[in-house]
């Protein structure tokens, strides 16, 4: 009788193990199918003609030079340089070509009032360079903006120090490009006053550890100010 009960228990355990194994296999199969579908859809969402910028771990997609579009992005900024209009949006530069707009390289010396939302800061020999989409910018106070410049001389991509934890800023209330530029500048000025640290100015006699600490405090102040003005900051 005891042997009979023991056999029944063993049969029940085997059935449960079989059921669990089948469920695990099914879950794994569904996960793999979902993972493949996600990757496939992700690749499909990358528009044709775009390229991946991985320099300095920038890790962003941009339309290739020469890419043509019938319209400009909804949020863009017009900048005239030597009587020629350029159109700037999220680190991408456009020129009019007939009835279309073509992605181009910005001329050296052109000034923008604000950096793109996604950029990488490089400290080269004590000078901050701001990088995005194969373009380098430097801050010039006398021109009150960021100037497109040549890449730093003799820069080694492996030795260049990109500062991590860039802030990604999104307008939640439909703020215009001009409004965004004004808010970012005013919050930047407020953050400098609060922390005594200005990321656009070369630091003096500051260790890397002090630089990181100062930058973190500055970013916290900048984030608090921008969130109070209706932005999502990550």
Asked whether residue 94 carries a pLDDT value surpassing 90, the answer given is yes
Question: Taking a C-beta distance cutoff of 8 angstroms, is the pair 149, 130 a contact?
Answer: no
* Full-model pTM: 0.57
3-state helix/strand/coil string of 50-79: EEEECHHHCCEEEECCCCEECCCCCCCEEE
Render pLDDT for 131-142 as a digit per residue (tens, 0 to 9): 999 999 998 888
Asked whether residue 10 carries a pLDDT value surpassing 80, the answer given is no
Q: How does DSSP assign 144-187, residue by residue?
A: TEEEEEPPPTT--TTT-EEES-PPPEEESS---HHHHHHHHHHH
Average model confidence (pLDDT) across the chain: 76
pLDDT confidence tier of residue 150, bands split at 50, 70 and 90: very high
Can you give the pLDDT at residue 17?
44
2: tokens are 């005891």
Render pLDDT for 186-211 as a digit per residue (tens, 0 to 9): 888 898 889 888 765 656 677 666 77
Can you give the pLDDT at residue 181?
73
Q: Rounded to 5 degrees, what are φ and ψ at 186? A: -65, -40
9: tokens are 């228990």
Can you give the pLDDT at residue 68?
94
Can you give the pLDDT at residue 47?
67
Please state which of the ranges 30-34, 70-74, 199-203, 227-231 shows the lowest mean pLDDT.
30-34
Render pLDDT for 37-91 as a digit per residue (tens, 0 to 9): 434 444 445 667 889 888 887 888 899 999 999 999 887 889 999 999 999 988 9
Residues of the chain with pLDDT > 70: what percent? Answer: 68
pLDDT confidence tier of residue 228, bands split at 50, 70 and 90: very high
In a 13 Å sphere around the CA of 52, the CA atoms on its Cβ side amount to: 5
pLDDT confidence tier of residue 160, bands split at 50, 70 and 90: low
Residue 194 DSSP SS3? helix
């Amino acid at each position: 009788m005891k042997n009979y009960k023991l056999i029944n228990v063993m049969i029940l355990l085997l059935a449960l193990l079989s059921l669990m194994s089948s469920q695990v296999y099914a879950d794994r199969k569904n996960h793999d199918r979902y993972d493949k579908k996600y990757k496939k859809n992700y690749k499909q969402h990358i528009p044709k003609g775009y390229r991946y910028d991985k320099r300095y771990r920038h890790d962003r997609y941009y339309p290739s030079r020469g890419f043509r579009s019938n319209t400009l992005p909804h949020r863009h900024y017009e900048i005239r340089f030597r009587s020629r209009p350029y159109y700037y949006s999220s680190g991408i530069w456009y020129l009019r070509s007939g009835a279309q707009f073509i992605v181009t390289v910005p001329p050296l010396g052109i000034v923008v009032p604000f950096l793109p939302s996604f950029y990488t800061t490089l400290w080269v020999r004590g000078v901050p360079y701001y990088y995005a989409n194969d373009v380098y910018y430097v801050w010039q106070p006398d021109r009150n903006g960021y100037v497109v410049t040549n890449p730093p001389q003799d820069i080694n991509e492996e030795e260049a120090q990109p500062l991590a934890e860039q802030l990604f800023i999104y307008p939640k209330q439909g703020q215009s490009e001009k409004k965004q530029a004004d808010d970012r500048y005013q919050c930047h000025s407020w953050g400098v006053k609060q922390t005594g640290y200005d990321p656009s100015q070369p630091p003096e006699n500051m260790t890397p550890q002090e630089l990181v600490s100062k930058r973190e405090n500055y970013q916290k102040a900048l984030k608090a100010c921008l969130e109070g003005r209706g932005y999502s900051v990550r």
